[in-house]
Structure 1
């Protein structure tokens, strides 16, 4: 079965005109414009553009698109940092993927945010705030970068050198921490606004990196399967009873005699025969 991301790759390859060149720069420009207008309107401008499902259902359909330009912070320092972050990762991923695939990634993020935003509204009936934003989808660009270049060195706060994969883990932790640190009394307000965006970003990331993640899913499933658990249990019991786990069928050396010796089981022998590193390729096959 073809992986999910391969279908997306084929779509992007067959529809190169689907891409919007320099898309992230356009989004940054729109976000900066809304941020500046909010400084003079006390945030009123963002309120007219944000994702309020009730308002959309009453005809304000422009919110289905304009919510992507709404700033997620009004503190100028963190706003500038986030814009620099997007200005680096967005164009980099566009060069890596091509305009068509990058645009598809962002468009899927918007669509999923809209879907989860409406689901949050219909399930909870929450109407006190926006139920969708692009903050976590934008931040998932970092997960995409870290998946492709896990050992790339980046500067944390422009000073501390750290590998991308560790920063990605930090991002996932902080994403969960945003929910964990919320006081219980505010959860009914925060969760309907935050969870849809988190789910949209994670689902979007999994769709575009399915082939990268599948081996980890398979490994986890194998390590936690009943067969593997029973095998490890039997191995521990055998080692406890006999004092060793592996024994060479030729020379008789065991892993208790030499803990550094490597042992292998021969697939050509008719049976379950173990051999040390000296005899795995130098023995008569038992038939």
Structure 2
């Protein structure tokens, strides 16, 4: 976490604000492109998918264009899930801060790209290309859900809009589902995406030295402390007032005020009456 603090001070100005909104926007563009592909008969995904073989031959746009591939077909369930992920993502952005959320999402994207190139060099261009078409941000979205569950384990979601379930139990089911998929699927690109998403989650949460910094309870405690130490003053309210003449800091920029230690009570005086007033006993 100290490393992240240093990185934020150095590169924080490049942070993408409201990153979750742009992720959803990429999906919308992806669905539009798929619809156009169905109309024209041109398979758009062939030009979008993360293919190391094509990237090494100059098609470098594929390093980012695969982010346009939607996690699933467009239907009512997908719309509900995207709305849920938008809510979870924006909540994490507010809790962690934009920079740390950027690092988490971009870390998942980068690990997926690295995994795709490893598969290419291990399996060869022909065998690896078959599985590359399956690569999308589906498992990165699942890692967002796991991150939210780790931050808010006792928050309840309504399963099927009826049954209240703590989100931590749904996270356990997600992990079990990922493990099952990893064992069952013969496609190594899917296994690679599962490893990338889980590895990103594990590194972010367990390899940092100060998890409490992004813990929601700790964030709330710091916010309450800051409000108590630096309360917001209502318009027209002054901080200082002389007990003799009634002058405040608004009556002059150079006025100084001090409390008198010899008076019984918290009496404050301006510089003209600090040593000339009668002590209150």
TM-score by length of 1: 0.65
Deviation of residue 212 (structure 1)?
7.8
- How many equivalent residue pairs? 204
- Cα distance, 1:82–1:121 mapped onto 2, change above 3 Å: farther
8 Å Cα contact 1:24-1:91 kept in structure 2: yes
Deviation per CA, 1:102-160: give whole Å up to 9, x if none. Answer: 11111111111110111112112211231743221221111111111111111223332
Partner of 1:63: 62
Would the alpha carbon gap of residues 122 and 45 (structure 1) be closer, same or farther in structure 2, given more than 3 Å must change? same
Matched, 1:123 2:119: no
Distance 1:159 1:34, change over 3 A: same
Unaligned stretches of 5+ residues in structure 1: 216-287
List gaps (5 residues or longer) in structure 2: 212-281
CA distance 1:213–1:75, shift in 2 (3 Å): farther
CA deviations over 1:165-203 (Å, ceiling 9, x no partner): 101101111112223444xxxx1xx2x220111111111
Distance in 1 (alpha carbons) for counterparts of 2:104 and 2:201: 8
Instruction: Please give the alpha-carbon distance, in whole angstroms, between the structure 1 residues aligned to 2:159 and 2:170.
Output: 8
Counterpart Cα distance in 2 of 1:158 and 1:123: 45
Query: Displacement, 1:207?
Result: 1.7
Q: Partner of 2:260 in structure 1?
A: none
Deviations 1:216-237 (A, max 9, x none): xxxxxxxxxxxxxxxxxxxxxx
Contact residue 70 and residue 136 of structure 2 kept, 8 A:
no
C-alpha change, 1:78 and 1:47, in structure 2 (3 Å) is farther
Cα distance in 1 for partners of 2:170, 2:6 equals 30
Q: Report the equivalent of 2:203.
A: 207
User: Contact 2:104 / 2:204 at 8 angstroms: preserved in 1?
Assistant: yes
Write the distance in 1 (CA, Å) between the matches of 2:81 and 2:54.
Answer: 28
Q: Distance in 2 between matches of 1:6 and 1:164?
A: 29
Of 162, 165, 185, the residue aligned with 2:165 is 162
The alignment status of 1:135 with 2:138, answered yes or no, reads yes
The normalised TM-score by structure 2 is 0.66
Which residue of structure 1 aligns with residue 189 of structure 2?
193
Aligned 8 A contact 1:116 1:132 in 2: no
Superposed CA offset, 1:78-116 (max 9, x none): 321331122111111111111111111111111111101
Superposition RMSD on alpha carbons, in Å? 2.3
Runs (4+) off by over 6 Å: 212-215
Deviation at 1:214, TM superposition (A): 11
Instruction: Give the distance between the partners of 2:69 and 2:175, measured in 1 at CA.
Output: 23
